[in-house]
Structure formats: structure tokens, C-alpha cells
Chains A and B, each alone.
Chain A
Amino acid sequence: MKTEGQEWEIRDGVSRMELLIESDSCNESFARVVVASFMARLDPTLEETDDVKTAVSEAVTNAVIHGYAETRGIVRITAWTQERELHVTVEDEGCGIENVEKAMEPMYSGALGRDRSGMGFCFMEAFMDELIVESEVGRGTRVQMKKIIGREEEQVD
């Protein structure tokens, strides 16, 4: 989903990255490794890194297999950090989702019978602190996720 007038804003205390990849399944691994490297500056635990990698993998895989399906297009991954927050956005300009609420139900899959678990959104929800999904048929989908890094240490203090 393309946002009009989206610009790169340089702000104090915010670091940002953007990655554009073609919707090939071999890029799913690349995308999650890039985000994992980017979030290393927040000094996450291994578990936090794994959580983010899985969530990014789900969002990018959705863009590749549902958003673009048999067609090819660009998946845009944006991530930024602010203090201990990691924000990740995954956008495609693919077919879009007709009913987002239904698509987010556990075990729902738009590609049933093709070995899909229908758990992609559940994993994103389970592993991140916030998940927002916007979609428009024919225009694409945008998944925004947020995770607070270092929460476990905070509880120890």
C-alpha cells in the first residue's frame, strides 16, 4: 500500500532503515536477517531477536505468497528505533485483503490446501507488542509492528 508523500524524516533519537526487495521467496530470509542486524543496536536478547525474525518472516511471506501470489512486485520493509522501541513496517502493492479481520483469525488461510498453517498473523501478534494491518483490495497491504526491547531486564530492576 503506497503512502502518498511518504518522506524520509531525519529526527533526533530515531534511526531508520529501508529495504526494497523483489517478492521472491528466497528474499524472505534476507529480509529477516537485515531487520535482526538493524535491531542489534538495541542490544536485544536472543529470544527477542528470534521473535522479530519470525514476525518479519511471516509478514514478508504473506506479501510474497498472498499479496503478489503469481505476480511479482516489490516488498518494502522499513524499520526504525526510538529509545527501546523497534518499529517494523512491511508493505506490498499486491492484491490486498478483502476482510482483514477474517484473515487475522487463527487457522484462516487464503491459500488453504497448499500446506499453509493460517498462523502467520497469530505469530506476528504473539511475538510483537503491537500489530496493525491495513489493506485495500487492488492497492496492497501494510503491516505495522512494534516491539519494546529489554522489557525483561526492566522487570528484574
Chain B
Amino acid sequence: MKQTDQVTYVLSGRCLIVQLPYEVDDHTCRGVREDTESYIRERKINRMIFDFSRTGFMDSAGIGVLLSRYRRMKELGGDIYLSGADAKVSRLLRISGIYQIMESI
């Protein structure tokens, strides 16, 4: 699969799928907050799915984005899910306690 450094968004009804890039770090995550905020504002999102199926590297910047979006979706009474994490990414999600608050689908 082609390595990509862009976050892409897929909208399905009021559900927003955030497709994360090959490397999830401070640099690649910088726009996610603003981007998702505009979808929340304009499309009244009530479900967000973070898709890691393209991701081969992640650091704590990815955890920061997940926590911030988790808080935001809870504020709105919405749901947030994870999908497609490989063993490497899963390990980071587990160590940081993300699996205690978010479900993988």
C-alpha cells in the first residue's frame, strides 16, 4: 500500500471516519482538531471512527488527538470508535489506556 502522510475524512451520514496516515505524530496530527471541528459544526457529527489501517508508526501525539476528540464527542453525547490498528499501534493504545475508554470495531 502506498504510504500516505495525509489525514483523510470520509463522511457517512452523521458518522465521520478519520483515516490516519502512515505516520501518526505531532506533524501529521496538527490539523485534525480543526478539521473535525468543522465537520462537527457543519455536519452535526454524532459518531467518529479513527481508522488506523494505514498506520505503521504512532507516538503520543496520536494519543493526544484521541483524548481530545473523545472528550469532544462525549460533550456532544456522541460515540467514538477505533478500527484497523495493527499489533504495533494496539500496543501503544493499550499502554496509554485508550482501550479502557474506547472500543475497537
Contacts and interface: CB of A to CB of B under 8 A. Distances in A.
Given A50-B57, A115-B33, A126-B95, A57 B63 contact: no
Interface string A22-54: 000110110010000000000000010010011
A126 B92 CA distance: 10
Interface of B is mostly: helix
Interface residues on A, range: 20 to 34
A60 to B, nearest CB: 9
A58 B27 contact: no
A25 B26 CA distance: 7
B74 interface: no
Interface residues on B, range: 20 to 34
A120 interface: yes
Contact of B60 (A32, A50, A120): A120
A131 interface: no
A141 interface: no
Interface in B37-96: 57-61, 63-68, 88, 92, 95-96
Interface in A88-146: 109, 115-120, 122-123, 126
Contacts of B88: 47, 50
Given A58-B59, A117-B96, A119-B96, A25 B30 contact: yes
Interface of B: 23, 25-27, 29-30, 32-33, 57-61, 63-68, 88, 92, 95-96
Q: Which 5 A-B pairs have the closest CB atoms?
A: A117-B64, A25-B27, A117-B63, A119-B60, A115-B68
